[in-house]
């Protein structure tokens, strides 16, 4: 049987998102900036979409900026904050296990003269609160820490950053990449104490091409592009309404995340128990990782070889972040894993639509791969 277990890369769009996109393409196709009836209908849909996301965030609609996805939102947060605050300090604090859209952005900031401090992680992929306290100082203008790691599912202590920033009286803005947490955990920016928060549509069964950045009222960011007044001038250009409408519909279709956590946890427990019963299989995710995401290794076998073997049997998993394009995981390296574990790593990621049968199909195929490929 086929089993799609690569939901951290992308999720299949839900029926509600597909229907909303179809309507936006066929009946609400106007430009939201136009003043005639077609534009006003589109503007109304845009406002409703923004309100849907704001309700989930527990914020004002004006604090939601639509983007093309997580990577653009992260870039807008990093460069927008750094450029806006560069006269107040030059230090940027992040972790060694962030998504590539953060890692590459802060690398570019370093080339422009900013001081970038990378927080190390423990064997479970979690940063130390003590190291966080030491890294932030009065010159820190930005702290960016993801809520959930996209390769191993580690939960990061985002909620403690505000206290540390206040302790040091730093001018820092706090950014959270919540792409892997959104829709799976309660993610309200005010409760987390963050100024900026990134989310993406296609991780919650919405379409690709839509995302959002929460920008707390009063926070000033420098835009990345110029040319229009859309999205409070932070993201000028005609809004992609079909994708935004689908995103909004996917948001409205989300169940209470805690109401389905037990189900997803039971799927994960079955997955972990089954994998652990196979000789040589090692679990890389910490025990308290988000249940939606499990990373494991089969040392002695190459990830690419196993991925091809599994794919031929209808099983879709990955070797790590989809954005890495097969490169060896710097996340697992930062966690202290050896070459063999990194080379043989697989990421299995679930959704609320994952079934018991898919878990069992994966375990059967994994065991078959372990026994078959080891003989070659």
- Just list the catalytic residues: 323
Query: SS3 helix, strand, coil % of the chain, rounded to 5?
Result: 45, 15, 40
Phi and psi at residue 143, to the nearest 5° = -125, 125
Q: Are 175 and 142 in contact (CB under 8 A)?
A: yes
The residues with which 175 forms a beta bridge, in sequence order, are 144, 196
Closest C-alpha among 231, 132, 147 to residue 189: 147
CA 204, 206, 210, 214 dihedral sign is: negative
Cα radius of gyration rounded to whole Å, the chain? 21
For the four alpha carbons of 110, 116, 121 and 127, in that order, the dihedral sign comes to negative
Q: 356-373 and 261-276 are packed helices; what angle lies between their axes, rounded to 10 degrees? A: 20
Distance CA 40, CA 100 (A): 38
Start-to-end Cα distance in the chain: 25
Phi, psi dihedrals of residue 91, rounded to the nearest 5°: -90, 135
**Residue 160 DSSP one-character state:** G
Concatenating the DSSP letter of every residue in 333-372 gives: HHTT--HHHHHTEEEEE--TT--HHHHHHHHHHHHHHHHH
Residue 308 and residue 165 in contact, taking contact as beta carbons nearer than 8 Å: no
CB atoms within 10 A of CB 39: 14
Q: At what angle do helices 241-253 and 15-26 cross, to 10 degrees?
A: 150
Distance between CA 171 and CA 19 in Å, rounded? 44
Helices 356-373, 303-312: axis angle to 10 degrees equals 120
């Amino acid at each position: 049987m086929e089993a799609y277990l690569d939901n951290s890369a992308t999720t299949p769009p839900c029926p509600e998102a597909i229907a909303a996109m179809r309507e936006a393409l066929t009946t609400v196709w106007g430009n939201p900036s136009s003043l005639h009836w077609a534009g006003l209908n589109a503007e109304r849909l845009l406002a409703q979409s923004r309100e849907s996301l704001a309700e989930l965030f527990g914020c004002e609609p004006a604090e939601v900026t639509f983007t093309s996805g997580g990577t653009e939102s992260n870039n807008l947060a990093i460069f927008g904050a750094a450029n806006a605050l560069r006269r107040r300090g030059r230090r940027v604090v992040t972790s060694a296990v962030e998504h590539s859209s953060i890692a590459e952005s802060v690398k570019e900031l370093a080339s422009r003269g900013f001081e970038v401090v990378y927080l190390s992680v423990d064997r479970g992929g979690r940063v130390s609160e003590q190291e966080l306290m030491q890294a932030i100082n009065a010159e820190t203008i930005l702290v960016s820490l993801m809520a959930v790691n996209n390769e191993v599912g580690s939960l990061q202590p985002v909620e403690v950053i505000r206290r540390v920033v206040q302790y040091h009286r730093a001018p820092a803005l706090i950014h959270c990449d919540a792409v892997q947490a959104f829709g799976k955990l309660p993610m309200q920016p005010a409760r987390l104490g963050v100024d900026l928060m990134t989310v993406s549509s296609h991780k919650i069964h919405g379409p690709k091409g839509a995302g959002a950045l929460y920008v707390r009222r009063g926070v000033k960011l420098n835009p990345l592009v110029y040319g229009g007044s859309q999205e409070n001038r932070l993201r000028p250009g005609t809004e992609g309404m079909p994708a935004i409408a689908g995103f909004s519909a996917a948001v409205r279709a989300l169940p209470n995340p805690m109401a389905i956590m037990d189900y997803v946890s039971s799927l994960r427990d079955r997955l972990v128990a089954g994998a652990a019963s196979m000789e040589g299989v090692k679990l890389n995710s910490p025990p308290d990782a988000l249940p939606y995401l499990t990373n494991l290794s089969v040392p002695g076998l190459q990830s690419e070889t196993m991925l091809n073997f599994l794919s031929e049997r209808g099983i879709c998993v990955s070797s790590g972040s989809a954005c890495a394009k097969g490169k060896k995981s710097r996340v697992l390296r930062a966690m202290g894993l050896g070459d063999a574990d990194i080379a043989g790593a697989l990421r299995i990621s679930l959704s609320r639509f994952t079934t018991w049968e898919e878990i069992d199909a994966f375990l059967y195929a994994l065991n078959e791969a372990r026994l078959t490929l080891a003989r070659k």
